[in-house]
Amino acid sequence: MTHLLSDEIARATARLAAAGVPSPRADAEELAAFVHGVKRAELHTVPDAAFDARFWEGIARREAGEPLQHITGRAFFRYLELKVGPGVFVPRPETEVLAGWAIDTLHKMDVGDPLVVDLGTGSAAIALSIAQEVPRARVHGVEKDPKAYVHATRNVEDLDERGRVRLHLGDFADALHEFDGRVDLVVSNPPYIPMSEWEYVPEDVRDFDPAAALWGGGDDGLDAVRIIERTARRLLRPGGWVAVEHSDLQGHPVYWIFAEEHGWRDVRNHKDLTGRDRFVTARLGTD
């Protein structure tokens, strides 16, 4: 029996939609592309006779709530294809805006070889994007979780052709003292969800992403951000910048974490592609 791939994708889309998957058509097409070894835009090149029934295994796993990226083992971030899976946070599209700001800021700096630190690097998505798009940047990624560190190491080995990214296994609270006062930019997508929001977090996030990458600590979920503020203040040179992601409801409290009395200047909220507050940036004063 010949299976028209377009018909199978349509059936899969209906199943995923009925299961409450947020992007059923996109997920069905991505799974079809993965199983058949092509890019999503190349699905039309797959002959009907080449239909692979393993497609339905992937659909069943997604239907049951497993993240798409865990099934395919890959995630796309800016211009990168990253290896991901259990034990590492799957990078989200909104974080691409944070990375884009960091890249644009580095291009504007009058620094020949900018020194960058990515705190809580996870899959190394931000670190690798900066290294790829700012070729002279030297990027140091810090990750505490050993499982996430393994994923980051694989991605750096595969994608860091210029050798501009170095990884460090450790806590970002006391990381990289050898760079104190010398760093041009600190960037981080830290854990920031308060435990009080547990029931509102999508199941495929709270059940599959590592807890250490989700729950930020403290009643407001911002203890990790407070640690980043202190670490960034230690690492940055005068005039250096920090950029920290947060939830769309945390822009105001994160803004005030980077207080003027701690030396911060030009503190600003930035929005993501949906127009919601997504990250805060600040410059360490020179006075």
- Is 190 an annotated catalytic residue? yes
pLDDT bucket at 112, cuts 50 / 70 / 90 = confident
- Spot the catalytic one: 51, 55, 89, 208: 89
Q: What is the mean pLDDT of residues 32-40?
A: 91
Give the pLDDT confidence of 51-80 residue by residue, as tens digits.
888 999 999 999 998 999 999 999 999 999
Given phi > 0 = left and psi -120 to 50 = alpha, else beta, which region is 20?
A: left
Give the pLDDT confidence of 124-164 residue by residue, as tens digits.
999 999 999 999 999 999 999 999 999 999 999 999 989 99
Task: Report how far apart, in Å, the C-alpha atoms of 112 and of each of 22, 117, 237, 264 are.
Answer: 44, 16, 15, 24
Neighbours of 240 (CB within 10 A): 25
How many residues appear in the chain?
Answer: 287
3-state secondary structure of 51: coil
Binding-site entries for S-adenosyl-L-methionine? 143, 172, 189
Binding-site entries for substrate? 189-192
- Is 253 an annotated catalytic residue? no
- Is 155 an annotated catalytic residue? no
User: How large is the angle between the packed helices 24-36 and 5-18, nearest 10 degrees?
Assistant: 140
Q: Give pTM, 2 decimals.
A: 0.91
Longest CA–CA separation in the chain, Å: 75
Residue 269's DSSP bridge partners are 280
- Spot the catalytic one: 34, 77, 189, 279: 189
- Spot the catalytic one: 91, 190, 194, 258: 190
Give the pLDDT confidence of 238-255 residue by residue, as tens digits.
999 999 999 888 888 999
